[in-house]
């Protein structure tokens, strides 16, 4: 479980989808004056250097965020996310990529709070260093976010956005996500929960969205992006998805505008596509 390092994949197509949607959700939360908490169960290192060996190994960002920066036809709904990326890079060269905590930090207000879980010791230290230097309202915890989240639900503000973003290298993560959400919803049914998942050939990956739909919730949205056809050998990630519990009512229309654009820019073959389904009363 401690072998996974997100730095290998920083800025790839899955990060683009995840962080674009995360920014949209936070902008929606910011429309109310009441403060909220951002809780991240698998926060990673917070920010990633694209010049270092981890990121350079496959340079996945080149076919992700690298394809968007500099384009003149970017939909306005994508621009705030890309501004967060640009603000970390003071010249035209892409050197740093913001992970989910840094994307959130760019939008949180002084009275909002972050609770960031990261079990990997090296990434947890990097995460701590990132937020020590900014003097932010973030608490970094070197522990398993699946279990640790219970201590913070419900938050005092009764408003929270929870990102659940495990690596799924351990197959039990799929079951643990469901179990964690059942308990989290019991404690705090009105929170907004965002589950990231990889699109793989495995049964666990393909069945997860349907299992999430069967949770005791009345409002949900599922969006996925495939950037190429599944490999013939059955290995590798051909796309990713987000399942959102208690999404904003405005999100479907935003995704209908942006997802075709992302397919066109990030797609690698003729089988690139997006899927979108939702139930929002």
What CATH number should be reported for the domain whose range is 6-198? Answer: 3.40.50.150
| Rounded average pLDDT per 10-residue block, the chain, 281 residues | 64 97 98 98 93 70 94 97 94 90 96 96 92 80 96 97 95 96 98 97 95 97 97 86 98 98 97 98 94
Angle at which helices 76-88 and 251-266 cross, to 10°: 70
From 165, 173, 269, 275, the catalytic residue:
165
pTM for the model: 0.95
Beta partners for 241? 197, 224
- Tens digit of each residue's pLDDT (9 = 90 or more) over 100-141: 999 999 999 999 999 999 999 999 999 999 888 666 689 999
Task: Please indicate whether residue 269 is annotated as part of the active site.
Answer: no
Given a contact cutoff of 8 angstroms between Cβ atoms, the answer to whether 270 and 207 are in contact is no
The C-alpha angle with vertex 4 and arms to 127 and 115, in degrees rounded to 5, equals 35
Write the pLDDT tens digit of every residue in 73-99.
999 999 999 999 999 998 778 999 999
Nearest 5°: the CA angle 16, 86, 224 is: 10
Report d(CA 23, CA 79) in Å as an integer: 10
Structural domain boundaries in the chain: 6-198
The predicted pLDDT at position 123 comes to: 92
């Amino acid at each position: 479980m401690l072998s996974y390092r997100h730095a290998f994949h920083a800025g790839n197509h899955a990060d683009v989808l995840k962080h674009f949607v995360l920014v949209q959700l936070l902008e929606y939360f910011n429309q109310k004056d009441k403060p909220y908490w951002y809780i991240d169960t698998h926060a990673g290192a917070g920010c990633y250097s694209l010049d270092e060996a981890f990121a350079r190994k496959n340079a996945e960002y080149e076919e992700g965020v690298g394809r968007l920066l500099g384009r003149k036809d970017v939909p306005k709904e994508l621009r705030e996310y890309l501004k967060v990326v640009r603000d970390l890079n003071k010249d035209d060269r892409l050197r740093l990529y913001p992970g989910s905590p840094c994307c959130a930090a760019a939008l949180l207000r002084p009275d909002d709070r972050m609770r960031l879980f990261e079990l990997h010791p090296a990434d947890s230290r990097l995460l701590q260093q990132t937020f020590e230097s900014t003097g932010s309202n973030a608490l970094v915890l070197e522990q398993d976010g699946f279990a640790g989240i219970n201590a913070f639900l419900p938050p005092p503000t009764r408003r929270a956005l929870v990102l659940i973003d495990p690596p799924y290298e351990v197959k039990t993560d799929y079951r643990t996500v469901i179990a964690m959400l059942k308990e989290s919803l019991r404690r705090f049914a009105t929170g907004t929960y965002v589950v990231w998942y990889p699109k793989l050939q495995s049964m666990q990956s393909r069945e997860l969205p349907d299992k999430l739909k069967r949770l005791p919730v009345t409002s949900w949205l599922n969006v996925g992006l495939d950037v190429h056809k599944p490999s013939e050998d059955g290995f590798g990630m051909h796309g990713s998805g987000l399942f959102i519990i208690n999404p904003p009512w405005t999100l479907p229309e935003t995704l209908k505008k942006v997802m075709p654009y992302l397919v066109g820019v990030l797609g690698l073959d003729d089988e690139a596509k997006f899927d979108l389904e939702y139930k929002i009363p």
